[in-house]
A and B are shown apart, each in its own frame.
Chain A
Amino acid sequence: MMNKKLRTMLCTLLLIALPAIAIAETNDKEENTYRPLFTALEINLGEASWIETPLSYLTYKGFNASINLEMMRAVKGESRWVQQHQLRYSLSKGTIAVSGQGGSWAHFGNYTFGMMHYSTVAPKFRLYYGFDLNAIGGVINNSHKGNNPFTTKWDVSVGFTGMAVYDFQLGKLPITARYQMSLPIFGIFSQQPWGYMASGLFDGFQLGSWNNHFNMRNRLHVDLRFDSWALRLGYNNDIMTHYATDNRFQYVTHNFVIGFAGELMRWSKKNNKTNIKSALYLH
Chain B
Amino acid sequence: MKKYCNIITIALILAVSTLQACFIDDDSHIDNTPQENFDALWSIIDNHYCFFEYKKIDWDSVYNEYAPRIQDKMNNYDLFNLCGDMLDTLKDGHVNLASGFSTSYYWKWFQDYPVNYDERIIHDNYLHFDFFQTSGIIYKILTDNIGYIYYESFSNKVNPSSLDYVLSQLSLCDGLIIDIRNNGGGSLSNVETLVTRFIPERTLAGYIIHKTGDGHNDFSEPYPFYYSPAQGHILYGKPVVVLTNRHTYSAANNFVQIMRTLPQVTIIGDRTGGGGGLPFTYNLPNGWNIRLSASPILDAYGNDTEWGIEPDIKVDMSPQAQETGRDAILDCAIELLSNGGGK
A144 near B22 (CB under 8 angstroms)? Answer: no
Residues of B within 8 A of A206 (CB): none
Residues of B within 8 A of A17 (CB): 8, 12
Given A181-B17, A248-B25, A250-B24, residue A14 in contact with residue B283 (CB < 8 A): no
Given A57-B40, A162-B9, A241-B24, residue A23 in contact with residue B2 (CB < 8 A): yes
B210 near A98 (CB under 8 angstroms)? Answer: no
Most buried by B among A121, A239, A252: A121
Give A29-60 interface residues, CB cut-off 8 Å to B: 51, 55-59
Stretch among B67-75, B106-114, B145-153, B285-293 lining the A interface = B285-293
B20 near A24 (CB under 8 angstroms)? Answer: no
B294 near A194 (CB under 8 angstroms)? Answer: yes
B6 near A99 (CB under 8 angstroms)? Answer: no
B6 near A127 (CB under 8 angstroms)? Answer: yes
A147 CB–B CB distance under 8 Å = yes
B281 CB–A CB distance under 8 Å = yes
B162 CB–A CB distance under 8 Å = no
B335 CB–A CB distance under 8 Å = no
Residues of A within 8 A of B31 (CB): 98
Residues of B within 8 A of A145 (CB): 281
**CB closest chain-A residue, reference B11:** A17
A99 near B285 (CB under 8 angstroms)? Answer: yes
A56 near B5 (CB under 8 angstroms)? Answer: no
**CB closest chain-A residue, reference B284:** A58
B12 near A14 (CB under 8 angstroms)? Answer: yes
Give B259-312 interface residues, CB cut-off 8 Å to A: 278-283, 285-289, 291, 294-295
Type the 1/0 row for B3-16, where 1 means its CB is closer than 8 Å to any CB of A: 00110111011001
Residues of B within 8 A of A96 (CB): 283, 285, 287
B1 near A23 (CB under 8 angstroms)? Answer: yes
Q: What bracket does the count of chain B residues touching chain A fall in?
A: 35 or more
Type the 1/0 row for A241-277, where 1 means its CB is closer than 8 Å to any CB of B: 1000010101010000000000000000000000000
CA distance A150 to B285 in the complex (A): 19
A218 near B27 (CB under 8 angstroms)? Answer: no
Most buried by A among B5, B23, B289, B291: B23
Main secondary structure of the interface of B (DSSP, over half): mixed
Give A195-253 interface residues, CB cut-off 8 Å to B: 195, 198, 214, 216, 218, 237, 239, 241, 246, 248, 250, 252
Residues of B within 8 A of A149 (CB): 281
CA distance A252 to B24 in the complex (A): 9
CA distance A6 to B19 in the complex (A): 11
B280 near A164 (CB under 8 angstroms)? Answer: no
B13 near A162 (CB under 8 angstroms)? Answer: yes
Q: How many interface residues does A have (CB within 8 Å)?
A: 57
A123 CB–B CB distance under 8 Å = no
Partner of B210, one of A6, A57, A164, A193: A193
CA distance A160 to B95 in the complex (A): 48
A66 CB–B CB distance under 8 Å = no
Given A7-B22, A147-B278, residue A198 in contact with residue B40 (CB < 8 A): no
Given A7-B22, A183-B16, A246-B213, residue A24 in contact with residue B281 (CB < 8 A): no
Most buried by B among A21, A144, A149, A239: A144
Residues of A within 8 A of B23 (CB): 2, 7, 214, 239, 241, 250
For the complex of A and B, list the 8 residue pairs with the smallest distance between their C-beta atoms, beginning with the closest: A101-B287, A146-B281, A24-B5, A214-B23, A59-B27, A144-B281, A2-B22, A148-B280
New contact pairs (7) apart from A10-B22, A146-B281, A194-B210, CB-CB < 8 Å: A17-B12, A23-B5, A102-B289, A142-B283, A146-B279, A218-B17, A250-B24
A interface residues (Cβ-Cβ under 8 A, vs B): 1-2, 6-7, 10, 14, 17-18, 20-21, 23-24, 26, 51, 55-59, 95-102, 119, 121, 127, 129, 142, 144-149, 162, 164, 179, 181, 183, 193-195, 198, 214, 216, 218, 237, 239, 241, 246, 248, 250, 252
